Amino acid sequence: MRVVFLGTPIWAAAYLPAIQQAGSEIALVISQPDRPRSRGRKLQPTPVKQAALEMGLAVMQPEKVNSEEALAQIRATEPDVLLTVAYGQILGKRLLALPRLAALNVHYSLLPELRGPAPVQHALLQGMERTGVTLQEMAAEVDAGDILVQEAAAIEPDDNADTLCRKLTEVGTGMVTAALPEIAAGELVGRPQNHAQATYAPLLTKADMQLDFTQSAEAVRNRIRAFAPRPAAYCLLEGRRLKITAAEIVEDFHKPAGEPGMIVEIDSDSGPLVRTGEGVLLVRRVQPEGRREMSAVEWLRGARIEAGTLLS
């Protein structure tokens, strides 16, 4: 089976060896164009491109994957299957019609739950205890195609976006390895989604990363988990951005209340305790503006933070 793979982030790169393990040939890898990253603003390859080149695979990086030029190059590979994993562009009807067998997508939710580009983050924001991976046939409407395979996965209380992506990638790569031979043999048949039950996970913005301490401790912690470890949720301390990458809810805190966002206690062995609209959070890890990520204990040694300080 000849597969054209489309993907961009680090966890999508794990699918390249999985496809080969399934006995399929990767005819072409398509990823987003190189973009400037880091402080030097130098062009950097996507993780999928880098992995593909290390495996000796052909790579294409069109600005518009539905352009005539891109379609011609993909058509020339005579693909049996298109497989997308967090590619970052919507595939048009003409592109979806190119493969001989199917155009497939790996999506990190139990569709029709959380359709859209940010299912992992929204699962954490909503405090969900369960999500999963879906292998679906692609349709004109995003994430609305027939479901071929699904597998559930638990969201643990200490999961963040990084750990949950890793967990779902392990599930997804195993799913693809098992499914591709069945697709080649014509043994895997899709089932339609119940569109009336669809929920959505729209793209998140920088504004979504800002913490609101008037919310409950659970809601604030879920937002921290959803963006950890990068790009990280943040608050302001004396006008400077302070990213918080790990926190936990403090049970049975009975000391006098402060206003939401106030550091009500400094624990030199654990970190600052912050009042929220409902409950108290212990901040475990932070990244001050212009510095590296560190434990809250390490940060406190040099930050000269006192009880009563307000995080806004």
In tens, the pLDDT along 143-155 reads 999 999 999 999 9
* pLDDT one-digit tens code per residue, 216-256: 999 999 999 999 999 999 999 989 999 999 999 998 887 76
The structure's pTM equals: 0.94
> What's 2-197's CATH class?
alpha beta
Q: Is 310 exposed, middle or buried (0-12, 13-18, 19+ CB in 10 A)?
A: middle
Answer yes or no: are the C-beta atoms of 87 and 55 closer than 8 Å. no
The fold of 206-303 is Methionyl-tRNA Fmet Formyltransferase; Chain A, domain 2 (3.10.25)
* Domain edges within the chain: 2-197, 206-303
**3-class secondary-structure state, position 248:** strand
Q: How far apart are CA 154 and CA 132, in angstroms?
A: 8
* pLDDT one-digit tens code per residue, 156-204: 999 999 999 999 999 999 999 999 999 999 999 999 999 999 999 999 9
Q: How far apart are CA 303 and CA 300, in angstroms?
A: 5
| Mean pLDDT on 88-117 | 97
